[in-house]
Amino acid sequence: MMIGMIGALTGTSVPLTGDQVGVISITGVIQDGGRGGLFSGGPGARGWMADIRSAYKDDNVKSVIILINSPGGSPAASHAIYEEIVRLRTKKKVVACMTDVAASGGYYVASSCDKIVAQGSTLTGSIGVIFGGVGYYGLMQKLGLTDQTQTAGKYKDIGSGKRPMTAEEKAYLQALLQDVYGQFLKAVADGRKMDIKKVRGLAEGRIYTGAQAKKVGLVDELGNFYDAVKLAGKLGGIEGEPKIRYYGQSTGLLGALSGSESSMFRHVAGRSLLQEPPLQGPMLLLPEVYQGFGL
């Protein structure tokens, strides 16, 4: 009885044995952060990177699925995860499985895997970089407000909504964006073993369905999660139906409180209990609201 109660609280169970397919879920905005939890926000790149390293060390795990449902996020965080997956690939086969959306930073991560599986209606691609902001200096003038900001360094308040940007500042920002964009293109070209000129032709922020992405070579196969499991098992040399080892998840109450299942507290009768940040746009340098697609 006591063991059962402890298991319910912690989500622990009898450990899996034998050959397995590991599953690491990357969901929401990709940004720096740890494991996440009820009182500490959503999961972040360092938590996912730790899961990837755990899968690398687990000899029972013969291949790994990176399950992605993300519109993108930080270029730095996306590339950090990318590098960990490249390291994992030196030891095990890795399959990306796209669900609703794997755009921009989500595709950045997926491109580091050996194979990519997507649904036909998955939204992906969006290979690009954005710097967002709102200029409200005209409204300030109408209200009789003046900007009294002082800076040391002429670019310190670049992008401020309190004044229009100069041509020099726009050129400076564009050079910065092109630098990050070039890194993104190279990462996709290296991961997909594709000529960078072809990647550039497919990029420019274009969004594709999974079916369209397969036609142009950004996706390898169309299928769902269990199709990805079957493929990962085959690549890992597992005979029969693979056992699945989930990382970063707990089914118990303590897991819910600590982060892995904290979404159970988010909605009651269709209303949010916790203030959730809006999904943010692909490959952001500055947050903007991501307007998702729906049916």
Q: How far separated are the first and last CA of the chain, in Å rounded?
A: 46
Instruction: From the candidates 104, 111, 126, 250, give the one annotated as an active-site residue.
Output: 104
Instruction: From the candidates 13, 121, 154, 156, give the one annotated as an active-site residue.
Output: 156
Burial of 98 (0-12, 13-18, 19+ CB in 10 A): buried
DSSP state of 39: T
Q: Is 104 one of the catalytic residues?
A: yes
Pairing of strands 123-125, 207-209: antiparallel
What whole-number distance in Å separates Cα of residue 88 and Cα of residue 67? 15
Q: Is 162 one of the catalytic residues?
A: no
At 10, list the tokens. 């912690």
List the one residue out of 294, 281, 124 whose CA is nearest residue 212. Answer: 124
What whole-number distance in Å separates Cα of residue 69 and Cα of residue 99? 6
What whole-number distance in Å separates Cα of residue 224 and Cα of residue 230? 10
Q: Which residues are catalytic?
A: 104, 156
